[in-house]
Amino acid sequence: MKPDEKWRDKNWRDRNWRNYRGGPHQRGDAPWPRPPHSRGPRRSPRQRRMFLGFLAILGLIVLLVAGGMTIFALLLTRRLGGTPDTAVLVWVSGCGLALALPLLAVVLAVRTFRRVANPLAAIMNAADAVAEGDLSVRVPEFPRRNEFTRLAHSFNNMTAELERADQQRRNLTADVAHELRTPLHIIQGNLEGVLDGVYEPTPEHIEATLDETRLLARLVEDLHTLSLADAGQLPLKMEPVDVADLLADVATSFSVQAVAQGVELGVETAVLPPNTHIQGDAGRLDQVLSNLVVNALRHTPGNGRITLSAKLVDENVQIQVTDTGEGISEEDLPFVFERFWRGDRARTHSGGAGGGLGLAIVKQMVVAHGGQISVSSVPQQATIFTLNFPVVSMEN
């Protein structure tokens, strides 16, 4: 591409203007404009309208001052019997005195306009873009530390959060569609195979199809639970819950499954003071621990161990679910509580089991109870889920 042809190409011109100062018009060639970057920031239509309005008001003020001083000079000269030269002198002096301070004020006003109107117009333009659905827009954050700089920073944080939430919504929609598609295809294929005579409607075949419907029902129920938790409308029957009894009930519920897998499931509450209670919904707390135990059983091999333990830490009850399973890699740890997250070595959905929502539900329920949850792990050694809830003092 020849130099003049390159300069006529807008994309090349914008990319290379720093190394191609001014373009061919500086050598007497065609008067192509310099790139927009070299002319400074361009004013938006709103900024131009505001500036023109400001100039119009300024011009009106100047005309009113000049006209008023003309009338004043004529009246004063006529009353004092002065000559026309005296009237001119009075007019010039009066206009000078009347406009000196306003002109000084105008200079200050112009500087203030640049510091106030330009950032305000930029924020208004960005707000219009957000209203039209462009969540990638950002307001330039001016180097001066003032209210508008803080406003621009807050606006950019808001749009970034909106963009992240919108992306999460899109990802969630895609993940839900993916999770629903697989069991639906299996159910559809099995039923079509039966109708076409490819499969015999044996109890085993019907049971396999029924398992897929159960998977769909569980996925829909998990999504419903998450939507209620997100909206702060998760129904909770709050009452004092004995921690030792809660752990014992969960261990009893999974004892048969643990024995079948060759995994030792135990409870350790010896260091917990008797009658230690937390405020919560017993059914939901049982669901939280059950999800964690199911997750641990899924990733703990035979001859492994899963331990439910509880102790007092300051004013909180700390409950831990520990296993000696596969563990979680360090790079996967920040994502284990995300919905539908997949990791080859992670503890969410694996091998077709589960819907990828178990740990997300656990976190939402813990937060709904005013608690906190965290996870630590050493790959191929151990994983520990730690839950903290405020302790409830029980009066005798």
What's the number of CA atoms in the CB half-sphere (13 Å) around residue 357? 22
What's the number of CA atoms in the CB half-sphere (13 Å) around residue 342? 10
Residue 140 backbone dihedrals phi, psi, to 5 degrees: -60, 130
126 falls within a domain: yes
181 falls within a domain: yes
Residue that terminates a domain, selected from 134, 155, 184: 134
pLDDT in tens, 125-146: 888 888 888 888 888 776 666 6
Residue that terminates a domain, selected from 230, 254, 276: 230
H/E stretch holding 232:
none
Based on the structure, what is the number of domains in the chain?
Answer: 4
State how far the Cα of 201 lies from the Cα of 15, in Å rounded to an integer: 68
**What string of pLDDT tens digits covers the 396 residues of the chain?**
444 554 455 454 544 544 444 444 443 444 444 444 444 445 567 667 777 777 777 777 777 766 666 666 666 666 665 566 666 666 566 666 565 656 666 677 777 766 777 777 788 888 888 888 888 888 877 666 667 778 888 888 888 888 888 887 787 777 777 777 878 888 888 888 888 888 788 888 888 888 888 888 888 888 888 788 877 788 889 999 999 999 999 999 999 999 999 999 999 988 888 888 999 999 999 999 998 999 899 889 888 999 999 999 888 999 999 999 888 888 888 888 887 765 543 343 434 445 567 888 889 899 989 999 999 998 888 899 999 999 987 664
Do β-strands 372-378 and 382-392 pair in parallel, antiparallel, or remain unpaired?
Answer: antiparallel
Do β-strands 264-268 and 305-313 pair in parallel, antiparallel, or remain unpaired?
Answer: parallel
149 falls within a domain: no
Q: What is the number of other CB atoms lying within 10 angstroms of the CB of residue 66?
A: 14
**Using CB atoms within 10 A of its CB, is residue 202 exposed (0-12), middle (13-18) or buried (19+)?**
exposed
Contact between residue 368 and residue 229 where contact means Cβ atoms under 8 Å apart: yes
Q: Tell me, yes or no, whether 204 and 312 share the same domain.
A: no
Q: Kindly report the pTM of this predicted structure.
A: 0.57
Residue that terminates a domain, selected from 202, 230, 258: 230
Q: Tell me, yes or no, whether 250 and 292 share the same domain.
A: yes
What CATH number has the domain bearing residue 205? Answer: 1.10.287.130
Q: Tell me, yes or no, whether 248 and 362 share the same domain.
A: yes
146 falls within a domain: no
Q: Tell me, yes or no, whether 174 and 271 share the same domain.
A: no
Q: Tell me, yes or no, whether 298 and 188 share the same domain.
A: no
Structural domain that includes position 254: 239-392
351 falls within a domain: yes
Q: Tell me, yes or no, whether 184 and 128 share the same domain.
A: no
Kindly state the percentage of the chain with pLDDT values over 90.
21
Q: Tell me, yes or no, whether 122 and 252 share the same domain.
A: no
Which long-range contacts link 43-46 to residues 24+ away (Cβ below 8 Å)? 43/118, 44/121, 44/122, 44/125, 46/121, 46/124, 46/125
Q: Tell me, yes or no, whether 34 and 61 share the same domain.
A: no
141 falls within a domain: no
152 falls within a domain: no
Distances (CA, A) of 115 to 5, 51, 137, 238, 240: 40, 13, 21, 54, 58
Q: Tell me, yes or no, whether 177 and 309 share the same domain.
A: no
pLDDT in tens, 156-201: 888 888 888 888 778 777 777 777 787 888 888 888 888 888 878 8
Sign of CA pseudo-dihedral 160, 162, 164, 166: negative
Cα angle for residues 309, 318, 272 (degrees, 5° grid)? 60
Q: Tell me, yes or no, whether 312 and 196 share the same domain.
A: no
- The residue ranges of DSSP E strands in the chain, in sequence order, are 239-242, 264-268, 277-280, 305-313, 316-323, 372-378, 382-392
Q: Tell me, yes or no, whether 174 and 304 share the same domain.
A: no
State how far the Cα of 59 lies from the Cα of 47, in Å rounded to an integer: 18
Look at residue 137 in the predicted model and tell me its pLDDT.
85
Spell out the residues 6+ positions from residue 184 whose beta carbon is closer than 8 angstroms to its own: 216
The DSSP annotation for 268-305 comes to E-TTSPTT-EEEE-HHHHHHHHHHHHHHHHHH--TT-E
Residue type, 122: A
Q: Tell me, yes or no, whether 96 and 12 share the same domain.
A: no
158 falls within a domain: no
